[in-house]
Amino acid sequence: MRVGDVLQQRKGEQGMTKIGLGLLLMLLSVAHAAQPNILLIYVDDLGYGDLGSYGHPVLETPNIDALANDGLRLTNYYAPSALCSPSRAGLLTGRYPYRTGIKSWIPEGSDIYLHTEEITLAEILKSGGYATAHIGKWHLNSDLGSDAEPQPTEQGFDYFYGHNAFQIPTNHNPTNVFRNGVSLGMQSGYTADLYADESIGWIKQRDQDQPFFLYLSMAEPHTTFENPPEYNQMYADYTQGPIIPIESGSTKPPKGKLVPRGPGEYYANITYMDAQLGRVLQALADMGIEEETVVVFASDNGPVTSAWLQWYETNAYGSTGGLRGRKHFLYEGGIKVPAIIRYPGVTQPGSTSDELALGTDIFTTLVKIGGGEIPNDRPIDGIDIGPMLVGESLPDRAVFWSLSSHGELEFAVRRGAWKLLLDRDHEPRELYNLAEDPLEFFNLLDDNEQIAKQLSNFFTKMIASIENDPLRP
């Protein structure tokens, strides 16, 4: 009997003794030993409210919504950071980004990179017999063609095809795509279909006797973007004026093209991405391996809302679902994002969980699912959220975020409903009760000194732990 069948029986039978958590986890460990395929989908700048399954009133995302209907939808999931590079460092290492030295997004030519001393999810799974590939955005070094900086193929991935920080000039006909360290020049198409094609091709061509780990990191909906005309037409009612793409990658901003046109193009970009992800998911079904594949979907950070900070953000209209803040900030809108897990036979179709989970937990959980060993020579901040997958609670814990950001608030800690924000000098500045005030309107710092002190003490210990980390760059 599969774990999911046991869980359904457990919930359906009345008056019978419940199966204990220990037995469920034992059954999970048996399932894990089979080494299922793992597809980890990480999308770029998608907000908590940017999917139909998360309440967007306009956006059509039928394939991602279907994934949620087939699996577990997380309603209290947080990215490791409010920016792309640190978020990806946390995802692949299970460690808070500041531990890895990735404190902000990595500019081109900055000589900042994820050090080889870090052990990635791909390295662990590869050592356990998985074929591994990364297709899409990397952004954990400053030069995908450099011999001096570690490349994806040196950090556990057998194969790499993708870009680094953002697509140039847009996601249409990108010129900055690499394959295994070699620049390919202009690629004809849109990044969404290019990466879907590459993913499907790799899955089909790999050694079929090996389980696979595919890290598919989409470019969308990161600006600057273009869309196929038929997708723009779907949202024509939400676009004003002619569509003129805004390109990036030149020495000067294209000031004459910075014209607000409404959210139609942003909506179209997400719907087109959804369609291409649907092709990848359908390929799993067509190959008969859908039931043997764990699919994890998440966003790397909160969205770029219409409160633009940079010229290249023009015409992004991301939704935080009403939460305060956006990408670049540690308010809820910058770090709380959508996440979905489909583990056939384990997760209950159409279920939801409000358990607190972080991107660092994905590392630990997928290592366990793949039958690997968690490194014991360094602090690992992620926990195994396996119990959550079968409807159980996770342990109470405090969690931590850090970010060299546009604002003064560079640190946040949370335990239970309480969230404390601290400035760059480590001074507590704002305290919120998220159970009563999820929009972070009411600063309760002066009224709850004891809670603020407890969270501050955890913060101090975490900073000391990071400063004394054995791998500190």
- Angstrom distance (rounded) from CA 299 to CA 165: 15
Strands of the sheet with 409-415, listed across from one edge? 398-402, 409-415, 418-423, 428-433
Q: Do 430 and 445 meet the contact criterion of CB atoms below 8 Å apart?
A: yes
Instruction: Look at residue 29 in the predicted model and tell me its pLDDT.
Output: 46
Task: Report the pLDDT value the prediction gives residue 407, as an integer from 0 to 100.
Answer: 81
pLDDT over 80 at 422, yes or no: yes
Cα gap 246→224, rounded to integer Å: 6
Q: Which of the 8 DSSP states describes residue 312?
A: G
**What's the confidence (pLDDT) of residue 209?**
93
What one-letter code names the amino acid at 78? Answer: Y
Task: Extract the runs of DSSP E, i.e. beta strands, from 287-354.
Answer: 293-299, 339-342, 351-353
Q: What average pLDDT does the structure give for the chain?
A: 93
Q: How confident is the model at residue 472 (pLDDT cuts 50, 70, 90)?
A: confident
Q: What is the pLDDT of residue 34?
A: 83
Residues 6+ apart with CB under 8 A from 138: 88, 144, 152, 160, 162, 163, 164, 217
DSSP 248: -
* Backbone phi and psi for residue 140, each to the nearest 5 degrees, phi listed first: -120, 20
Predicted pLDDT of residue 362: 98
Q: Which residues contact 89 (CB under 8 A, 6 or more apart)?
A: 80, 95, 97, 100, 102, 114, 118, 140
Q: pLDDT above 70 covers what percent of the chain? A: 93
Is residue 473 very low, low, confident or very high in pLDDT (cuts 50, 70, 90)?
A: confident
Domains of the chain (ranges; CATH) run 1-33 (no CATH), 34-397 (3.40.720.10), 408-473 (3.30.1120.10)
- The pLDDT, as a whole number, for residue 22 is 52
Q: Which of 393, 411, 302, 402 is nearest to 356 (CA)?
A: 393
**What band does 50 get if pLDDT is binned at 50, 70 and 90?**
very high
Band of pLDDT at residue 179, cut at 50, 70 and 90? very high
Q: How confident is the model at residue 404 (pLDDT cuts 50, 70, 90)?
A: confident
Q: Is the pLDDT of residue 28 over 60?
A: no
* Predicted local distance difference test score (pLDDT) of residue 442: 98
Whether 249 has a pLDDT exceeding 50, the answer reads yes
Model confidence, pTM: 0.93
| Residue 8 pLDDT grade (very low, low, confident, very high; cuts 50, 70, 90) | very low
Whether the predicted pLDDT of 21 surpasses 60: no
Summarised one tens digit per residue, pLDDT across range 52-74 is 999 999 999 999 999 999 999 99
pLDDT digits (tens, 9 = 90+) for 257-315: 999 999 999 999 999 999 999 999 999 999 999 999 999 999 999 999 999 999 999 99
Q: What is the pLDDT of residues 196-247, one digit of tens each?
A: 999 999 999 999 999 999 999 999 999 999 999 999 999 999 999 999 999 9
221 upstream amide cis, omega within 30 of 0: yes
Band of pLDDT at residue 406, cut at 50, 70 and 90 = confident
Phi-psi domain of 459 (left: phi exceeds 0; alpha: psi -120 through 50; beta: other)? alpha
> What confidence tier does 24 reach under pLDDT thresholds 50, 70, 90?
low
Q: pLDDT class for 12, splitting at 50, 70, 90?
A: very low
pLDDT at 409: 96
Q: Is the pLDDT of residue 169 over 80?
A: yes
